[in-house]
Amino acid sequence: MSKVAVVTGANKGIGFAIVKSLAKQYPGTVYLTARNEELGLKAVRELESQGLKVSFHQLDIENLESINRFAKYIKEKHQGLDLLVNNAAIAYKVSDPAPFSEQAKNTIRTNFTATLHLCDALFPLLRPHARVVNVSSRGGMLNIVKDAEFRNKFIKEDLTVKELTSLLDEFVELSRLGKNEHICKSAYGMSKVGLTALTRIQQREFDRDERKDIIVNAACPGFVATDMSSHRGQLTPDQGAETPVYLSLLPEKWTGPKGLLWAEKNVVDWTDLSWTWK
Ligand SMILES: NC(=O)c1ccc[n+]([C@@H]2O[C@H](COP(=O)([O-])OP(=O)(O)OC[C@H]3O[C@@H](n4cnc5c(N)ncnc54)[C@H](OP(=O)(O)O)[C@@H]3O)[C@@H](O)[C@H]2O)c1
């Protein structure tokens, strides 16, 4: 049976580069998805002009109708899914005049909540040996959460998705009240703290699943020149795609690290409180 891979937010940037790399080596159908159909089809045509064949489907991870339409389509056409790369995300520019409360609400909604909604819809379709890659960031290392009591809740061994969602809701509420500073000053960073914490929980749940060998990891692509970074990153999107693609292609019956944050194809200790950018 031919495999099926899906990449979100893939009309440009790192998502596009992940699709390009998978199109060259994934043993099955690769879906480039995008919330804007026109931009998505343009990206597909660009790959075709390079001799690469991928499929397209519209997918806005913030829109439950779009998510459900896509999940139904994958179920009917392929009966299952073998790779999901959760790449779609937003980040406000430092210069953006939007109030922090709004930035926090929107960033958590897209990068954490919407990703979670997509997982809820697509995880039931994952087949044994499926791989999931959550594109996270070292901008969301645990030590950006300054309050020790709040921080420790993210690493509780038996943390549930519901508890994690409440923590992020609390951050959004504190931001609304202008009382977030002692917890965390970065909306984007907090969204990625949430995504990396979610990855650990998801792996714990896969380990109990009757479908064997489903592996999820979080990946930091590095500082990449894309629209998100205002093209200031020193890596190309193709370089940024390397770790997510590596984790996408982890071999069957993988016994190595899982449920963790990776960068440059190595595990990063996300909980290291002394961690700084070198
Ligand atoms: N660039 C970096 O240095 C860097 C560093 C660490 C982590 N990352 C992570 O890498 C991933 C890709 O980032 P990038 O740099 O390639 O950013 P980008 O160039 O801004 O691309 C982001 C992609 O996500 C899509 N997207 C946003 N909201 C969406 C939604 N609701 N539904 C579907 N797609 C949506 C965008 O679609 P539109 O074109 O329609 O807006 C775009 O295709 C993100 O998870 C980001 O947080 C990036």
Range of the domain at 68: 3-92+111-140+191-268
Domain contains 221:
yes
Local confidence band at 50 (pLDDT 50, 70, 90 cut-offs) = very high
CATH code (residue 115) = 3.40.50.720
Grouping H, G, I as helix, E, B as strand and the rest as coil, residue 262 is strand
Task: Judge residue 94's burial from the number of C-beta atoms within 10 Å of its C-beta, 0-12 exposed, 13-18 middle, 19 or more buried.
Answer: exposed
Domain contains 120:
yes
| DSSP assigned state of 202 | H
How high is the pLDDT of residue 159? 98
What is the average per-residue pLDDT within 114-133?
Answer: 98
The overall average pLDDT reported for the chain is 98
**Separation CA 113–CA 29 (nearest Å):** 27
Domain contains 103:
no
| pLDDT tens sequence across 241-252 | 999 999 999 999
**Separation CA 211–CA 80 (nearest Å):** 12
Q: Using H for helix, E for strand and C for coil, what is the string for 112-158?
A: HHHHHHHHHHHHHHEEEEEEEEEECCHHHCHHHCCCHHHHHHHCCCC
| pLDDT tens sequence across 256-270 | 999 999 999 999 999
| pLDDT tens sequence across 146-167 | 999 999 999 999 999 999 999 9
- The encoded tokens of residue 213 equal 């060998």
Position of tokens 């499926």?
130
Local confidence band at 278 (pLDDT 50, 70, 90 cut-offs) = confident
Domain contains 232:
yes
Local confidence band at 131 (pLDDT 50, 70, 90 cut-offs) = very high
| Ligand 1 neighbours by CB, cut-off 6 Å | 8-9, 11-15, 34-36, 39, 60-62, 87-90, 110, 114, 135, 137, 220-221, 223-224, 226-229, 233
Domain contains 199:
yes
**Catalytic residue among 31, 92, 188, 246, which?**
188
Domain contains 97:
no
Number of independent structural domains in the chain? 1
* Distant-in-sequence, close-in-space partners of 61: CB < 8 Å, separation ≥ 6: 8, 9, 35, 67, 88, 110, 114, 115, 117, 118
